[in-house]
Protein backbone atom coordinates (compact mmCIF):
# COMPACT_ATOMS: atom_id res chain seq x y z
CA UNK A 1 0.00 0.00 0.00
CA UNK A 2 2.86 2.38 0.78
CA UNK A 3 4.31 2.20 -2.71
CA UNK A 4 1.16 3.58 -4.37
CA UNK A 5 0.34 6.41 -1.98
CA UNK A 6 1.51 9.97 -1.83
CA UNK A 7 1.73 12.66 0.80
CA UNK A 8 -1.13 14.53 -0.85
CA UNK A 9 -3.37 11.45 -0.72
CA UNK A 10 -2.50 10.91 2.95
CA UNK A 11 -3.34 14.53 3.75
CA UNK A 12 -6.60 14.33 1.81
CA UNK A 13 -7.67 11.13 3.60
CA UNK A 14 -6.28 12.20 6.96
CA UNK A 15 -4.38 8.93 7.32
CA UNK A 16 -0.66 8.35 7.90
CA UNK A 17 -0.07 5.09 6.06
CA UNK A 18 3.38 4.62 7.63
CA UNK A 19 1.78 4.55 11.08
CA UNK A 20 -0.98 2.23 9.84
CA UNK A 21 1.68 -0.12 8.52
CA UNK A 22 3.73 -0.02 11.74
CA UNK A 23 0.64 -0.82 13.81
CA UNK A 24 -0.51 -3.69 11.61
CA UNK A 25 -0.44 -7.36 12.55
CA UNK A 26 1.49 -8.17 9.36
CA UNK A 27 4.30 -5.81 10.40
CA UNK A 28 4.51 -7.43 13.84
CA UNK A 29 4.53 -10.95 12.38
CA UNK A 30 7.28 -10.01 9.91
CA UNK A 31 9.40 -8.49 12.69
CA UNK A 32 8.99 -11.65 14.78
CA UNK A 33 9.85 -13.84 11.80
CA UNK A 34 13.01 -11.82 11.11
CA UNK A 35 14.01 -12.03 14.76
CA UNK A 36 13.40 -15.79 14.79
CA UNK A 37 15.30 -16.37 11.53
CA UNK A 38 18.29 -14.29 12.61
CA UNK A 39 19.05 -16.35 15.72
CA UNK A 40 21.28 -19.37 15.27
CA UNK A 41 20.38 -22.84 16.44
CA UNK A 42 22.60 -24.00 19.35
CA UNK A 43 25.26 -26.43 18.16
CA UNK A 44 25.14 -25.32 14.52
CA UNK A 45 28.31 -24.50 12.58
CA UNK A 46 29.00 -21.34 10.61
CA UNK A 47 28.94 -21.55 6.84
CA UNK A 48 32.30 -22.31 5.31
CA UNK A 49 33.36 -22.05 1.69
CA UNK A 50 36.86 -23.19 0.66
CA UNK A 51 37.16 -20.55 -2.09
CA UNK A 52 35.74 -17.11 -2.71
CA UNK A 53 34.05 -18.17 -5.97
CA UNK A 54 32.07 -21.31 -6.70
CA UNK A 55 33.72 -21.90 -10.10
CA UNK A 56 37.11 -21.18 -11.61
CA UNK A 57 37.73 -18.09 -13.72
CA UNK A 58 37.86 -20.05 -16.99
CA UNK A 59 34.58 -21.85 -16.19
CA UNK A 60 32.88 -18.53 -15.44
CA UNK A 61 34.22 -17.03 -18.68
CA UNK A 62 32.96 -19.99 -20.71
CA UNK A 63 29.53 -19.72 -19.06
CA UNK A 64 29.34 -16.00 -19.85
CA UNK A 65 30.38 -16.55 -23.47
CA UNK A 66 27.89 -19.40 -23.85
CA UNK A 67 25.05 -17.24 -22.48
CA UNK A 68 26.06 -14.31 -24.70
CA UNK A 69 26.13 -16.60 -27.74
CA UNK A 70 22.63 -17.92 -27.02
CA UNK A 71 21.16 -14.51 -26.28
CA UNK A 72 22.70 -13.09 -29.46
CA UNK A 73 21.36 -15.78 -31.78
CA UNK A 74 17.91 -15.97 -30.17
CA UNK A 75 17.00 -12.60 -31.65
CA UNK A 76 17.49 -12.78 -35.44
CA UNK A 77 15.33 -9.71 -36.28
CA UNK A 78 17.51 -7.52 -34.07
CA UNK A 79 20.68 -8.87 -35.67
CA UNK A 80 19.23 -8.37 -39.16
CA UNK A 81 18.39 -4.74 -38.41
CA UNK A 82 21.88 -4.17 -36.98
CA UNK A 83 23.44 -5.63 -40.12
CA UNK A 84 21.23 -3.55 -42.44
CA UNK A 85 21.98 -0.35 -40.52
CA UNK A 86 25.70 -1.11 -40.69
CA UNK A 87 25.52 -1.56 -44.47
CA UNK A 88 23.43 1.61 -44.83
CA UNK A 89 25.83 3.72 -42.73
CA UNK A 90 28.82 2.28 -44.63
CA UNK A 91 27.25 3.22 -47.97
CA UNK A 92 26.32 6.66 -46.64
CA UNK A 93 29.84 7.42 -45.42
CA UNK A 94 31.30 5.91 -48.57
CA UNK A 95 29.30 8.26 -50.80
CA UNK A 96 29.91 11.33 -48.59
CA UNK A 97 33.68 10.88 -48.49
CA UNK A 98 34.13 9.36 -51.98
CA UNK A 99 36.95 11.55 -53.32
CA UNK A 100 38.01 13.34 -50.17
CA UNK A 101 41.23 11.31 -49.78
CA UNK A 102 42.49 12.14 -53.27
CA UNK A 103 41.83 15.92 -53.12
CA UNK A 104 43.39 17.45 -50.04
> pLDDT digits over 5-63, tens only?
778 888 888 888 888 889 999 999 999 999 998 888 888 888 888 888 889 999 999 99
R_g (Cα) of the chain, nearest Å: 30
- Would you place residue 104 in the very low, low, confident or very high pLDDT band (cuts 50, 70, 90)? low
Is residue 22 within 8 Å of 1, Cβ to Cβ?
no
Is residue 17 within 8 Å of 1, Cβ to Cβ?
yes
- Residue of 27, 23, 16, 30 whose CA lies nearest to 5: 16
Amino acid sequence: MLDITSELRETTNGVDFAEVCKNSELYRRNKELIKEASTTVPGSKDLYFPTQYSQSFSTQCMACLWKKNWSYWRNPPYNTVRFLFTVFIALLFGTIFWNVGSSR
